[in-house]
Structure 1
Amino acid sequence: MSLRVVDHSPTDAGHKRNPGFPLDLDWVGRVRMNRSALERRAATIGTRRTVKKEYQLAWLLKAITMIDLTTLNADDTAGRVERLCAKARHPLRSDIVDALGIAKLDIKPGAVCVYHSFVATAVAALQGTNIPVAAVSTAFPHGLAPVETKLKEIESSVADGASEIDIVIERGMVLRGDWQALYDQVKAFRKACGDAHMKTILGTGELATLTNVAKASLVCMLAGADFIKTSTGKEKVNANLPTSLAMIRMIRWFHEETGIEIGYKPAGGISHSKDALNYMALMKEELGTHWLQPHLFRFGASSLLTDIERQLEHGLTGNYSADYRQPMV
Structure 2
Amino acid sequence: MQRRTVLGAIGAVALSSASYFPMNACAAALKGEGGNPIRIVVPYPPGGPLDVSARAIADAVTPVLGTVVVENRPGAGGNVGMSYVSHARPDGHTLVMGAVATLAINPSLFKKLPYDPEKDFKPVTLVATAANVLVITPEFSQKTGVKTVKDLIDYAKKNPGKLNYASGGNGSAGHMAGEFLKRQCGIDMVHIPFAGASPALLSVISGQTDLIFDNLASAAANIKAGKLIALAVTTKTRTPLLPDAPTMEEAGVPDFDIYTWFGLMVPGGTPDDVVKALNDAIVPVLKDPATDKKFRAFGALPAPTTPAEYQSLIDEEAKKYKVLVEIAGARVD
TM-score where L is the length of structure 2: 0.28
Q: Which has the higher contact order (CA 8 A, sep 6+)?
A: 2
Q: Pick the structure with more strand per residue.
A: 2
| Structure whose residues are more often helix by fraction | 1
TM (normalized to structure 1)?
A: 0.28
Larger radius of gyration: 2
